[in-house]
């Protein structure tokens, strides 16, 4: 029973704290995800971006990916590359 408790405690701790490798990759993603460092907050080991409201230290990778996809779609709409179906008969993509 004590072994089981130790295993669970270690598992919870490992989920709470990213490994060194993961932390390095998260830091690289945080610092490189915009062309400038505007909006990045990295004091005290934090890895946050106020421009896209992503916490690179704590958010699950799948959530960060989802946010990036949403931002990419919004950017394509702004550029007029991606148009909603209800606005065109040519489908989602309207490449110029």
Which of 7, 12, 28, 51 is close enough to bind Zn ion by CB under 5 A?
A: 51
Which of 26, 30, 49, 56 is close enough to bind Zn ion by CB under 5 A?
A: 49
DSSP-assigned letter for residue 49: E
The reply to whether 52 sits near Zn ion by the rule CB under 5 A is yes
| Residue number, 57 or 83, with CB nearest to Zn ion | 57
Alpha-carbon distance 51 to 41, whole Å?
Answer: 10
| Residue number, 68 or 83, with CB nearest to Zn ion | 68
Q: How far is the CB of 49 from Zn ion (least distance, A)?
A: 3
DSSP-assigned letter for residue 80: T
Residues 6+ apart with CB under 8 A from 76: 82
> From the DSSP assignment, how many helices (H) and strands (E) are in the chain?
3, 3
Binding site for Zn ion (CB under 5 A): 49, 51-52
């Amino acid at each position: 029973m004590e072994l089981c408790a130790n295993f669970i405690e270690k598992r919870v701790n490992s989920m709470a704290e990213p490994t060194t490798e993961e932390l390095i990759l998260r830091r690289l993603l945080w610092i490189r995800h915009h062309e400038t460092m505007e909006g990045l907050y990295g004091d005290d080991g934090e890895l946050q971006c106020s421009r896209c409201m992503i916490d690179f230290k704590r958010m699950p990778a799948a959530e960060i990916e989802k946010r990036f996809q949403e931002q990419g779609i919004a950017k394509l709409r702004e550029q007029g590359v991606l148009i909603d179906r209800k606005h065109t008969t040519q489908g989602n993509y309207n490449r110029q």
